[in-house]
Amino acid sequence: MLAGYAVHVEGSRGRRFPEPPHPYRNDFQRDRDRVIHARAFRRLEDKTQVFTRRYSDHFRNRLTHTIEVAQITRTVAAALNLNVDLAEALALVHDLGHPPFGHAGEKALDAAMRAHGLFFDHNLHALRIVEDFEQRYAAFRGLNLTFEVREGIIKHSCDYDPAKHPELAEYLLEQRPPLEAQLIDLTDEIGYNTADLDDGYEAHLLTLEQIRAGLPVFERFFREIEETYPDVPDKLKFNEALKGVFNRLADDLITNTQARLRQTGIETLTNIRLYPKRIAALSPAVEAERKQIKDFLYENLYYSPSLAGEKDDAERIVTELFDFWMKNPAALPHYYHEKASQESLPRVVCDYIAGMTDHFIAEQYEKYCGGN
């Protein structure tokens, strides 16, 4: 039974191009499946999350991270009596617009665009992917996703200013997104905060002592595990403690959001949309722990000297290739020649680079910039 504040598929605002109903899948299930079968979704397998494959094939990439976020989101959405099909579709599509080389690649691409008075935003790029770049259907461009999924793509993690983004007017920027979309930014953080601690420890860039000393919430769970399983290897103690942190974050997201729903008296989707701030949230105490984990990762992992060389390489590759194609647009694939007649060259070059995998952009760099 869905809650009154959930998105009910029969109340969907529908697709840009109307389609007949499917005999055994509802519209949000079809959206989920269209995302999974998209070329851009497959490319996530070769896009960096934090670590390149130089470290290990066991570490997360954009695709495995996305799958983990979808699992967390399904669980939380079900506990809140939300529309699990919509929440899952939004989780699966949430990172579709990320460029190669993780945040280093995104930083360099945005800097290159700002030199031309433009910018790069991975949420807005994801919307371009599902509305234009994916070409699978004879009747329309893009994936023709429902309004609710397209809205969630751009609104799940931030609120865009209607005055600055008139092109997004149809997405009700003056209103809050449904709870199914509000969950995504939080389940994303739960996923990558705990996963990056795991991968950082496995990569020997974070030590157990360092994590215990820097994160009191982890230390509390670790001490409990030591008392219960004093003789097991440290790696298993680490796993159990990290699972405790993970469950604390997810459980709190559920219980605190339920409490906020009761406190505000929200009963309908309209109440959610018109409420002045987002309802899905962690409690103050657990939010402080989440922030502490994130700050710890930035200080000790993301800016680690061991990763600095790869970040520098990523920024150089993106920047130099962007400059190359700006000076040599004839070297772009034929499809992008056509796009350049409709949009500015910087945006076309940006779109091309943003769609690349780590492997392909490295090949292009070797081809056009000599790998120097």
Cβ(48)–Cβ(199) below 8 Å: no
Q: What whole-number percentage of the chain has pLDDT above 70?
A: 98
Residues belonging to the chain: 372
Whole-model pTM: value is 0.95
pLDDT > 90? residue 337: no
Residue range 31-60, pLDDT digits in tens: 999 999 999 999 999 998 886 656 666 788
Structure tokens at 369: 């910039």
CA dihedral over 53, 48, 90, 276, signed as positive or negative: positive
Look at residue 56 in the predicted model and tell me its pLDDT: 63
Round to whole Å and give the CA distance between 239 and 223.
Answer: 13
Q: What is the pLDDT of residues 91-150, one digit of tens each?
A: 999 999 999 998 999 999 999 999 999 999 999 999 999 999 999 999 999 999 999 999
Q: Is the pLDDT of residue 372 over 60?
A: no
Is the model's pLDDT at 307 over the cut of 90? no
- Confidence tier at 367 by pLDDT (50, 70, 90): very high
To which CATH superfamily is domain 9-308 assigned? Hypothetical protein af1432 (1.10.3210.10)
For 26, left (φ over 0), alpha (ψ -120 to 50), or beta?
Answer: beta
**Model confidence over 255-269: pLDDT tens digits?**
999 999 999 999 999
Residue 55: per-residue pLDDT: 61
pLDDT of residue 282: 98
* Contact status, residue 197 vs residue 293, Cβ threshold 8 Å: yes
Report domain extents, the chain. 9-308
Mean pLDDT in the chain? 95
Residue type, 347: R
| pLDDT at position 41 | 97
> The tokens of 307 are what?
């990763």
Q: Count CA atoms within 13 Å of residue 258 on its CB side.
A: 13
Predicted confidence at residue 340, as pLDDT, reads: 83
**Chain segment 133-152, per-residue pLDDT in tens:** 999 999 999 999 999 999 99
Taking the CB of residue 227, how many other CB atoms lie within 10 A of it?
Answer: 8
**Nearest to 238, CA basis, from 252, 224, 256:** 224
pLDDT band, very low/low/confident/very high, at 357 (cuts 50, 70, 90): very high
Q: Report the amino acid identity of residue 348.
A: V
Lowest model confidence (mean pLDDT) among 165-169, 181-185, 204-208, 305-309: 305-309
Could you tell me the pLDDT band of residue 339, with boundaries at 50, 70 and 90? confident
- Residue 243 is which amino acid? K
